[in-house]
Structure 1
């Protein structure tokens, strides 16, 4: 009889006492084996769980180690990048934004000095631009010190300015444009001219001491060609300064007034003259003065047009580059002519100037004592 059949009789309570003992002995054996196997499973599960926890700890330690490594690498990279940015900041800054320390025109002077010198000569009758000192402040920022010289007194003036990421801000005092009513025919009428007419000017000058050196705007009753101006200058003893040029018909208005310095003084920009012939009057003394003046004025205009990007960065520049294009067109069609000029001389030299029939009058803007021996 099989154990299965025996077990069935045990369950049906038909088994004999001997068969019952046999089944119970087998069941006892089975229970012991079951308990043993259960104990073995628990031990194995504990070992597996401990192993899994240990593996997880290893993974966690590895991830933390890797995280620290990544953080360290990121810090190193950030330090390297910041160091590189700091070290190469001037180079990077000058690539991105306008650089006022450019020296493309002249080896020993900033280009900005020449740019402002041209603007001053064309539009500022009473001052001369001398130089610009540039101090870098980092990341497209610069401090400027602009030096000007007054024609009448010879006094030097320093004005501050800044360059901030390409935009140039100069103090308003830098822009010393000519007075619109100083010449009788320089501008369309805005009101009464400040000119003193010739008869009254002669009376006012009659008793003035000769140790005065005067600055005066001289107004002409008709426009002169450069030949007429050169002929006049050759007969005078005083100093011919800034010459106003007719840049539009008399009935129209174009500001600021434009002209040029007839004396050609200041720094010598030889390299600029090579690109813009007659930029430097002093380098062309073998050419008739009238021709040199005309070509000089045209050179200043062309320079301003070519450097239009610079002038567009300036505050209060009145769109100088584009304005010069319109002036260039007008003088090319009508010639370079003057309606008046600045003149420096003693009362006697001023009286002699007023003897010319084309001179309508003068407007004195400054005077200085010039006592011999002092």
Structure 2
């Protein structure tokens, strides 16, 4: 860049800070040289002046005074222009700095947050009952987690989820239980979401039960599971070779494991297996039969086939209707919530309970939950290390086409409850986990 070009850019405030300082230094140097040359000129003029006659001296003096006055006027004009340019540049730089500070404080945080999953986004709905107005709030993380939990986290559908924004796409979250059983409380866990990445301080919290906790995993759905279990145990030379994938290998080992539990009131998370795939109606009949035997499993979650091989553990809660999302969302996802009103209403709750017994409604409920999850791309990306492909579109399509077929259920129960369950012909195996 030539010096003339640099001067032009300086006048237009297009130089960098370092280049601006260089030009200003050159201007200062030029002013000093000009002052020096002016002084020398004055000396030369005086010397010439005194070497002439008086008439010529007078004319020369008048011209010199005129030239000096013009030079001073020009010098004052230049200095004033430079100072004005500097003031303008200072105001412009100050304005830019102020704009940057304001953008960082008030603009960047919302912009950054919009790029990532925002769990704190909240929808507040008002409902009226007589003269009283109620407000119901649905946060993004609460809706997403409730749907996610009902689909893939047995016995955790009643947990409360809160999110606190720290700005710039960062949040703190707290997942706390609202229901406890016996002498143990459900585990509270906390964590943070940093620009769409979830970090739980208790990561095991979001781990669902392994597929082989259910007897039917890997078995032929067209035949009863008991005969297949026996066929997969071979005795040779007094040694047993077990080909079953079930957690305990044999039904006898599973029964013995429950017998060895302490005879107290400890609550377990029990993975209960059917002797064969059951229809929706058959599952409800089994639940009614358990109550007749004074067995009252809590937080019952029904495992459902999401494909021909049943490789994915997916299901729905069947003993208490959950207010998963705003009722208006049912327009896009029918029966996503089983309620017809936002906010609690006794009559509406009873209707929702009745829907739990309606196969067509529950099939649609399950399909809508899967489709809703499939549309929550930011949430799924955040949860990818905790889940596999349970929200794949093919699972919703399969259930929509084939209906609900179950290979077992999960519940909270005592040892005594589990022993009574094993006496039923429909139930052939249970895997208990410590519940907390």
Q: Could you tell me the TM-score, scaled by structure 2's length?
A: 0.64
2:419 is equivalent to residue 351 of structure 1: yes
Question: Aligned partners of 1:58 and 1:243: how far apart in 2?
Answer: 89
Structure 1, 91-100 or 306-315: larger mean CA deviation: 91-100
Given that 1:197 and 1:360 are in contact with CA atoms closer than 8 Å, whether structure 2 keeps it comes out as no
Q: Give how far 1:234 is off.
A: 0.7
Partner of 2:185: 155
2:213 is the alignment partner of 1:178: no
Q: Select 2:305's aligned residue among 241, 246, 250.
A: 246
The alpha-carbon deviation at position 132 of structure 1 amounts to 2.6
Aligned residue runs from structure 1 range 1-374, under 5 A: 36-37=55-56, 40-41=59-60, 44-45=63-64, 47-49=66-68, 51-76=70-95, 78-79=97-98, 82-83=101-102, 85-87=104-106, 91-104=110-123, 107-128=136-157, 130-148=159-177, 155-171=185-201, 172-186=203-217, 192-195=245-248, 197-199=250-252, 204-205=258-259, 209=263, 211-236=265-290, 237-239=295-297, 241-250=300-309, 253-254=311-312, 257-264=313-320, 269=325, 271=327, 274-275=330-331, 276-281=333-338, 283-287=351-355, 289-291=357-359, 292-318=361-387, 323-366=391-434
**Cα 1:161–1:249 shift into 2, 3 Å:** same
Unaligned 5+ runs, structure 2:
1-50, 126-135, 220-241, 339-348
Q: What root-mean-square deviation, in Å, do the aligned CA atoms of Structure 1 and Structure 2 show?
A: 3.8
Change (3 A) 1:199 1:333: same
Q: Residue 217 of structure 1: CA displacement?
A: 1.0
Given that 2:305 and 2:404 are in contact with CA atoms closer than 8 Å, whether structure 1 keeps it comes out as yes
* Matched position secondary structure for 1:44: helix
Corresponding residue of 2:46: none
Distance 1:310 1:136 in 2: 16
Change in CA separation of 1:78 and 1:123 when aligned onto 2, cut-off 3 Å: same
Deviation at 1:356, TM superposition (A): 2.8
Q: What's the offset of the Cα at 1:109?
A: 3.2
Give ranges in structure 1 of 5+ residues lacking alignment. Answer: 1-31, 369-374
Aligned pair in 2 of structure 1 residues 67, 197: CA closer, same or farther (>3 Å)? same
Rounded Cα–Cα distance in structure 2 between residues aligned with 1:200 and 1:274: 46
Q: Measure the CA separation in 2 of the matches of 1:131 and 1:72.
A: 52
Does the 8 Å CA contact 2:267/2:413 hold for their aligned counterparts?
Answer: yes
Q: Secondary structure at the match of 1:219?
A: strand
Post-superposition offset of 1:84: 5.8
Paired residue secondary structure (1:64): helix
C-alpha displacement at 1:230, in angstroms?
A: 0.8
- 3-state DSSP of counterpart to 1:286: helix
Question: Separation in 1 of the partners of 2:355 and 2:428?
Answer: 30
Larger radius of gyration between Structure 1 and Structure 2: 1
In 2: Cα distance, 1:340 partner to 1:114 partner: 26
Kept after mapping to 2: 8 A contact 1:105/1:111: no
The alpha-carbon distance between structure 1 residues 161 and 200, as it changes in their structure 2 partners (threshold 3 A), is closer
Deviation at 1:302, TM superposition (A): 2.4
2:23 paired residue number: none
Number of aligned residue pairs: give it: 333
Judging changes above 3 Å, is the alpha-carbon distance between structure 1 residues 286 and 130 closer, same or farther for their aligned structure 2 residues?
Answer: closer
